[in-house]
Amino acid sequence: MKYLIVGLGNTGSEYINTRHNIGFKILDALANASNISFQDRRYAYRAEYKFKGRTFILIKPTTFMNLSGKAVNYWLQKEKLQADKLLVLVDDVALPFGVLRLRSKGADAGHNGLKDINLTLGHQNYSRLRFGIGNDYPKGAQAHYVLSPWDDNEKESLTAKIDLSIEIIRSFGVSGVANTMNEYNNR
């Protein structure tokens, strides 16, 4: 059993601790906790994580957020995986900070990374874990908000929410998307 887990974000040191890079941050935490490391590969940094007989191919696209579909499509084909084995980790301004929502499919909700994945794959029938970053910004300042660092209040509970995200990734592979949604979406 093999799965492709895609953390969305932007490469470059200026983006490391920004809200928009939560997908990268979750995968980095999983790699650190598992003593694995990412290697620079085609269109992405790639690591392989094994858990309870499952193999999770972790990728952090190097194509930048708005062109994430290229990396996702390439790695699905390279690993010979169908979209039901794909989980995309993404920030979501429509959810309050720290709220996690797993969905088995859905629209891009205005997220440019998901929009590009949907266009490239030609469908939206893949799982995504939406990590709420809140929407505490003035009208017209969304881009600045998502590309800014976490505030002090968010930093206090960020590690616990990232740990919960890692639990969800593992459950996605072991128990399936429906069971994982039932278990975690109301926490």
Give catalytic residue positions: 20
Angle 50-184-72 from CA coordinates, rounded to 5°: 50
Give CA–CA dist 150/100, Å, rounded: 17
CA distances from 6 to 79, 141, 152, 153, 183 (A): 13, 27, 27, 27, 21
CA distances from 113 to 15, 109, 129, 182 (A): 15, 10, 13, 26
